[in-house]
Structure 1
């Protein structure tokens, strides 16, 4: 297990370095002068003196290799530079907003697993029954409805009409834990609707496939209790594709919760990215893209470790 984990750590570190290098090259792949593009407003050419000043601030006048060394050394110190809008350190803003997005995505992942896995097992064990058809229909509807529609309808019905929940916003957990959780549940459940449907369908298909394996049929022939077969032989083996799907979807959600954060006024990282793109604050965009990409790599590393725990054969693959 330690050898497997060490190999995955080395691969992940290599991917992090590659991502950081690609993010650095982004600014140099833009056609034309990046500083001039950043300062252009409404198609009007910026002042040459301002362009030169910005080039100096971004270090664009230095040789490419020197810029790369400066950039990588800054990342090792946790320095992402400063915002072009207000000179505020980008690392501080990311550190403030990233936990909020992670909390939102993590809560959505837990909710989707809590509902998707048991309902997927139930549907597979009763394949073709009215329960299976009903659950599959609900999952299909959940997948077909865009997330912003789910969020908007939830706000209209639960917040404005029934007055059961607040319409959105954010309160730090340390200030008011109950209020924080109540504001978190709505956007988390909105994300979990689609993700839970995916988990349900993958779990159902995986359980059906495992039920046909020889070791399961052998256990049934020996008279092993159905509950024991499901718990020890079916669910554990069926979890591998679910881990894959959840890991990939959670990684994409790290930078894809823009609409949900906007609808529920949740001040996370996605809203910060939209603001940075609109303001053409390229250092901010680079910092956010790098952080999200690194988190995606780390999430895949965690998924690989879960593979090894669920299926020991992966360690020797």
Structure 2
């Protein structure tokens, strides 16, 4: 297991280096002068002296290889540079906002798994029955409704009409844990509705596929109790594709929670990215995209480890 984890870790570190290099190259291969684009307002050409000063601040006058080495050296030190808007360290802002988005996405993934997995198993065991049809119809409806519609309806119904919860906002966990959790649940549940439907569908299909395997049929023929068959022979095999789906969706959600964070006024990383793009803050955009990409690579590393735990054959593949 340790050798498998070490191999996957080396591969992940290599991917992180490739991602960092690609982000650097893509930014520098975009046509046009980044400094000029940043200073352009309403199509009016900026002052050449200001453009030259900004190029010097960003290090754009140096050779490309020197910029790359400086960029990679900064990443190794955890230095993403300074914001062009207020010269605030970008790493500090990311460190402040990233845990909030990770918490939101993690809670959504937990809720989606807690509901999607057992409902998928229940539907598969009663395939074609009334419960299966009802749950499948719910999943289809949940997948067809955009996340911002779910969030808006939740605010209108639960917050404004029934007054059960607050419409949105953020309170640090250390200041008021109860209030923090209450404010977290609405946006997390909004994301979990669609993600839970995906988990449900994958789990249902996976269980149905595993139930047709020979070793499961043999266990049924021996008269083994249905609960024991699910625990011993079905669940572990059926969970493998679910792990993949949840991990990939969580990675995509890291940069895709913009609408949810906006609807519920949750100060996470996605809102920070939108602000950086609107302000044309080149260093901020670069830092945020890179952090999201690295986390996505690390999520895939964790998925590989979970595969090895769920299915020992993966370690020797």
Task: Output the TM-score relative to the length of structure 2.
Answer: 0.99
Distance 1:105 1:143 in 2: 17
Distance in 1 separating the partners of 2:28 and 2:314: 40
Higher mean displacement: 4-13 or 259-268: 4-13
CA deviations over 1:114-171 (Å, ceiling 9, x no partner)? 0000000000000000000000000100000000000000000000000000000000
* Cα separation, 1, equivalents of 2:131 and 2:32: 60
Equivalent residue number for residue 30 of structure 2: 30
1:272 is aligned to 272
Q: 1:210-289 maps to which residues of 2 (within 5 A)?
A: 210-289=210-289
Greater mean deviation of Cα atoms: 197-206 or 29-38: 29-38
What's the RMSD between the two structures over aligned residues?
A: 0.6
Structure 2: runs of 5+ lacking an equivalent = none
2:291 counterpart of 1:294 = no
1:199 aligned to 2:199? yes
* TM-score using structure 1 length: 0.99
Measure how far apart 1:96 and its partner are.
Answer: 0.2
Counterpart of 2:60 in structure 1 is 60
- Give the structure 2 partner of residue 173 of structure 1: 173
Question: Deviation string for 1:49-103 (max 9, x for gaps)?
Answer: 1000000011011111111111100000000000000000000000000000000
Looking at structure 2, the residues matched to 108 and 55 of structure 1 have their Cα atoms a distance apart, in angstroms, of 42
Cα shift at 1:224: 1.4
What is the match of residue 310 of structure 1? 310
The residue aligned with 2:50 is 50
CA distance in 2, matches of 1:22, 1:42: 30
C-alpha deviation, 1:34, in angstroms: 1.2
Q: Distance in 2 between matches of 1:200 and 1:27?
A: 39
Query: Structure 1, residues 240-280: CA drift from partner, whole Å, max 9, x if none?
Result: 00001001000000000000000000000000000000000
Q: Distance in 2 between matches of 1:28 and 1:288?
A: 16
SS of the residue aligned with 1:313? helix
Q: Where do 5+ consecutive residues of structure 1 fail to align?
A: none
Q: Any runs of at least 4 consecutive aligned residues in structure 1 with deviations exceeding 6 A, and if so which?
A: none
Superposed CA offset, 1:276-295 (max 9, x none): 00000010000000000000
